[in-house]
A and B are shown apart, each in its own frame.
Chain A
Amino acid sequence: MPLPVEQVVVFRKGGKVLWSRGKAKDVVNSWIGSVLLEEKGGDLRATIESYTVEWRLANDVDSVLVLVYNKSMELDFGGELLERLRSAVRKQPRELDKSYDRIASDLEARPRRVAPAPAPARREEEEEGEGEEEDEEEAAAEVSVEEKLRRRGVGTKGGRRKKKEDEKPTKKQPKVWRDTIHKRTSAAQVAELDYSKKEEASDASMATTYLPADGERAAWEEDEEEKKSGSWLSSLMESAAGTATLTADRVEPIMAQLRERLVAKNVAAEIATEVCESVATTLAGKKLGRFERARGAVKDALAAAVERVLTPKRSTDVLREVLAAKERQKPYVIVFVGINGVGKSTTLSKVAYYLKSHGLDVGIAACDTFRSGAVEQLRSHAKCLGVDLFERGYLKDPAQVAKAAIDDAAKKKRDCVLVDTAGRMQNNDKLMRELAKLVTLNEPDLVLFVGEALVGNDGISQITLFNRALANFSPTKRQIDGLVLTKFDCIDDKVGAALSVTYATGQPIVFIGVGQKYTHLKKLSVTQVLNALFS
């Protein structure tokens, strides 16, 4: 019986497919966009639409290995398959067809659902019987590096994010794919600890475990790197010779420092950890260029990754969208959501001012029917702006008020309707349900989440719970599709929230607020955020 996989593909990071079996290119492409380019790569496994995607990177040969299979399958061998294939990519890149067939037939022969892992020692004996002994050993050694990075959480001090729920092995369906990794790690660990077994372990494995890789320097030297010019010079010589390779051990302390710096700039701790982990996986095994030093290379890679996360994945030109809607003769609807006091009504007024100043006919809908004074506040803004306000007083269903406002605007041939909503806490189910209803009923063109640039760790739970509530309570599963960060004028260089919110949602920051005046509305400058974070 063939393996139940949709596609296995090996490709260069530049996009060239080196080898492939099966067909699921769209899944692979959307995985590249939503996981790799958003630095969510630390987990080695993701769900894309109705598929599970697992992957491994081979940074030394600039390649990526991806396995796609149906989500409903509980495959237990994904990691093993990819790791064995990875050794083949390194050794016999031209014979991948043969290698894959061999790996696949091994795996096919194995019973699909295996009981929990046998003892590590026994496991080793089993492996000796197999044909691909060497590859396996090598793969095992490598996993241990990757796992080491993951387990240590790239230097987090107790801030390690908890394992995702879906990764917990349940009793009924032992997810052996994870066990396999652990088994292998523990095999390597046992070898590391048990000196009496030294001779039994294969030479290759021993060498990878103990000997420094080409260009790798001992940890005691690493610590002194900053102070001692001697080691600085030697690392320079080494890099001049072009022999240096980044190993996980070398990346780790540097990354830990960079992570601290991100946290000091107000990036949420959890996000800083995830980004750093993901970048670390793209660095392990990579060769350094001439005159490139480990610290510089790690920092550059992280900065490039942060730049990718901050750079919008699509156009954020709202004015252009509204102009396009005007041509279609349908009012463009923007809903502003978020918790209390973050600046929703103020931002809405700024956007009204911005659009009006470009000759567009804007209407405002007062759908904060909850907080007393909200309608009056908006009325005075509307008056000040010279813009019409649609209101139905308090205690009305905001979804219906918004609908009436949009219908009214369509009748009056307005170009745009801005919908103000009541602030709500992300854990207030009743109010979140109400918001989901507003969004579902009115199908706005843009749902903007407004948050303060001052938020730290709590900002992430706000935004993810808003998204989850919208997904849970609305049948259309419509979510937030843009972000606003207000009070950017109050944070100096602590710009970390920009990274936290874009990473947590994958959505772009459409506007930032830099003061209380209507003109204090801007686009986010990615360059400026990068400078604040890294210089």
Chain B
Amino acid sequence: MWWWGSLLLLLFVAVLVTAVAIFALRTPRRPAAVVLIGPCGAGKTLLFYRLTEDEHCDTVSSMQSNQGQVGDVALVDFPGHYRLRGGLKDELDRATKLVMLVDAAAMAAQAKPAAELLFQVLTAFQNAKRPPPVLLICNKTDKATAKTPQRVKLMLMNEIETLRKTAHALRSIDDDDDKQQPAQLGVEGRVFSFDQHSPCPITFLPISVKNDDLSPVRAFVQTGLVSTTPSS
């Protein structure tokens, strides 16, 4: 029965190939994308639809992310609700650039959640080889109460300074947490500064997503550069 052997081998190879194919197809790596983040109500979803479909749509709180294209760049709108924060890590893993929005007209309410999010993001990229650049949009400049980017930056910096002391003070019993210390943001004993200590280059951009021309944002999404750089 000489052919038994080769039949078995053939069968074995076939099974192996199928197994590999199924494995590869079942756990698809998320494709690289530009990711929109920010607290609830900052204007991410409106920005997403303006960029991807050139549409001014009305919105409610997002329960899941939106995916689309800006030219040939993939764009993801990651919802801001705290309860969905568990999905952030996967999105950061595939982010080539980040666009973070805050409602500059509601900083009293947004500074804390925005700083927490930004802290989480910057900590995640602390030891990364190629941390993505961040465009920080200070949105809703059409409103009279909108804070200037300088002011927004200061408020976020202060909050992050507090978080550096408190966020990792109580260690959770995360399995991977216990083995390795979470990366420390900034330099021990020095006050945190975006310009000196952020692993990701951050550009602040005041804009009204509702009313303004979005070409600086579009440029960032596509090239990673911002034509007008009003960062202080």
- Which A residues form the contact surface with B (CB < 8 A)? 9, 11-17, 20, 25, 28-29, 32-33, 36-38, 64, 236, 290-291, 304, 307-309, 311-315, 317, 319-320, 323-324, 354, 358, 511-512, 514, 521-528, 531
Contacts and interface: CB of A to CB of B under 8 A. Distances in A.
B167 interface: yes
A80 B147 CA distance: 47
Interface stretch (B96-104, B168-176, B203-211): B168-176
B72 interface: no
B81 interface: yes
Contact of B57 (A13, A17, A317, A523): A17
Contacts of A354: 169-170
A304 B112 CA distance: 25
B25 interface: yes
A312 to B, nearest CB: 6
B163 interface: yes
Contacts of B58: 16-17, 20
A289 to B, nearest CB: 9
Which secondary structure characterizes the binding site on chain A? Answer: mixed
Contacts of B61: 15, 28-29, 32-33
B62 A15 contact: yes
14 contacts: A12-B66, A14-B62, A14-B65, A15-B79, A33-B83, A64-B63, A236-B22, A291-B25, A320-B162, A324-B162, A523-B170, A525-B175, A526-B86, A528-B174
Contacts of A32: 60-61, 63
Contacts of A523: 170-173
B79 to A, nearest CB: 7
Interface string B90-111: 0000000000000000000000
A16 B57 contact: yes
Contact of A291 (B26, B63, B83, B163): B26
A64 B63 CA distance: 11
A32 B63 CA distance: 8
Contacts of B191: none
A511 B170 contact: yes
A225 B85 CA distance: 34
B60 A28 contact: yes
A514 B86 CA distance: 23
Interface of B: 22, 25-26, 45, 49, 57-66, 77, 79, 81-86, 112-113, 116, 162-163, 165-167, 169-175, 177
Task: Across the A-B interface, give the 6 residue pairs with the lowest CB-CB distance, nearest first.
Answer: A15-B62, A523-B172, A14-B66, A17-B58, A319-B166, A320-B166
A68 to B, nearest CB: 12
Given A32-B60, A37-B81, A312-B83, 20 more contacts: A12-B66, A14-B63, A15-B62, A15-B79, A16-B49, A32-B63, A33-B83, A38-B83, A64-B63, A311-B84, A320-B167, A354-B170, A358-B169, A522-B173, A523-B170, A523-B172, A523-B173, A524-B172, A525-B177, A528-B172
Contacts of A17: 57-60
Contacts of A308: 83-84, 86
Given A319-B170, A323-B162, A15 B85 contact: no
Interface centre among B57, B65, B166 (most CB of A within 10 A): B166
A525 B173 contact: yes
A291 B21 CA distance: 11
A511 B171 CA distance: 10
Nearest to B49: A16
Given A17-B60, A315-B116, A525-B177, A37 B170 contact: no
A456 to B, nearest CB: 22
Contacts of B59: 11, 15-17
A524 B174 CA distance: 8
A15 B60 contact: yes
A523 B171 CA distance: 6
Contact of B60 (A29, A307, A309, A311): A29
A521 B170 contact: yes
Nearest to A522: B173
B133 to A, nearest CB: 25
Nearest to A530: B86
A308 B84 CA distance: 6
Contact of B175 (A33, A317, A324, A528): A528
B200 to A, nearest CB: 22
Interface centre among A15, A315, A522 (most CB of B within 10 A): A15
B173 A528 contact: yes
Interface centre among B25, B58, B84, B167 (most CB of A within 10 A): B58
Nearest to B163: A320
A100 to B, nearest CB: 16
Nearest to A510: B170
